[in-house]
Amino acid sequence: MSGVNTAAESYVTDDGRTIGPVVMEMKNITLRFGGVEAIKDISFDIREGEIRAIIGPNGAGKSSMLNVISGFYVPQEGEVWYNGSRRPPMKPFQVAEQGIARTFQNIALFEGMSVLDNVMTGRLTHMKTGLFAQSFWKGKAEREEIENREVAEKVIDFLEIQAIRKTPVARLPYGLKKRVELARALAAEPSLLLLDEPMAGMNVEEKEDMSRFILDVNDEFGTTIALIEHDMGVVMDLSDRVVVMDYGKKIGDGTPHDVRNNQEVIDAYLGVAHD
């Protein structure tokens, strides 16, 4: 059904969610590491307000794809289009300044800093005061800090981590670290949120919590989310549209329902031999 919508149009899904026009489009992306092609000529788009999942078996190139979107890898071929214009090759920090926030598969938090400080780093792209004003103009720096602190506190409330606000991150258990990382990304008020396996290594209860948070974020702030996930069940429940990758190639793209009935996808997941 996504196929019948043009890029600039909004449409309403079967369960009544309004999905906006295309915000990010990957065109014929190819990424090589030496002789290895991690991503082979993949194209897909991400629409405003949707939850877009990228799934596939281990080594399919999902994380590489997320790294291309967030600027950590620069593809050898292909174009990235964002908000209607072609994005030149960018450093990750420039991508972040464009309003794209992300989390990492293996959690990349500032371990020595408190939870609050970690979340506040998510606000860095919104703090515009220069070095000298920050150092010598107490009033201005303070005002900016307070404004941004409010947003950070809102996110902390939203993700229910008030109790650990002042705790150094290094002391937190794995599941909470994942949540703090999500909080840091959310604090940036991103227009596109990238989640690399947000539920990896979690128990069932934690997975349910995380799913709920992801849905709430999307629902409440209208944040566009692209996520990578292993767990098919979770993906089917969460996402509006799914890209399926296998060995660096795209083998399926569509609603969870479409994808589930796609023979190639079933083969990839059940491990049928490739010809």
Partner 1 sequence: MNEQLAFTIEVFANGLMAGVLYALVALGFVLIYKASGIFNYAQGVMALFAAMTLVGIQNGQVPFSHLINAIFGTDLHHFGWHVHSFLAIALTVIVMIVLAWMVQKFVFKHLVGQEPIILFMATIGLAYFLEGVADLMWGSEIKSLNVCAAEGACLPQGMNVWLEGTTYEALGYGFFIDNLDIVASIVAAILVIGLVMFAQYTKQGRAMRAVADDHQAALSVGVSLNFIWVLVWSLAGFVALVAGIMWGAKSGVQFSLSLIALKALPVLMLGGFTSIPGAIVGGLIIGVGEKLFEFLIGAPFLGGATENWFAYMLALLFLVFRPQGLFGEKIIERV
Give contact residues for partner 1 (rule: CB under 8 A): 70, 72, 91-94, 96-97, 101-102, 104, 108-113, 117, 120-122, 124-125, 127, 129, 131, 134-135, 141, 144-145, 184-185, 188
Nearer to partner 1, 181 or 253 (CB): 181
Q: Which is nearer to partner 1, 52 or 102 (CB)?
A: 102
Nearer to partner 1, 47 or 177 (CB): 177
Nearer to partner 1, 47 or 179 (CB): 179
Rounded-to-integer distance, Cα 141 and Cα 151, Å? 16
Q: Considering the complex, what minimum distance in angstroms separates the CB of residue 228 from partner 1? A: 15
Q: Could you tell me which residues come within 8 angstroms of residue 265 by beta carbon, excluding any fewer than 6 positions away? A: 244, 251, 252, 259
- Closer to partner 1 by Cβ: residue 7 or 108: 108
CB of 202 to partner 1, least distance (A): 20
How many other CB atoms are there within 10 angstroms of residue 154's CB atom?
13
Would you say 94 or 261 has its CB closer to partner 1? 94
Nearest CA among 138, 66, 136, 140 for reference residue 102: 66
Nearest distance, CB of residue 134 and partner 1, angstroms = 4
Within the chain, strands assigned E span 11-12, 18-19, 22-33, 36-47, 51-55, 77-82, 85-86, 100-102, 192-196, 224-228, 241-246, 249-254
Give the SS3 label for residue 187.
Answer: helix
> How far apart, in whole angstroms, are the C-alpha atoms of residue 99 and residue 146?
21
What is the closest distance, in whole angstroms, from the C-beta atom of residue 52 to partner 1 in the complex?
19
Q: Which two tokens stand for residue 243?
A: 């890209």
CA distance 109 to 155: 16
Least Cβ distance, residue 252 to partner 1 (angstroms): 28
CB of 119 to partner 1, least distance (A): 10
Residue 261 burial by CB count (10 A; 0-12/13-18/19+): exposed, middle or buried? exposed
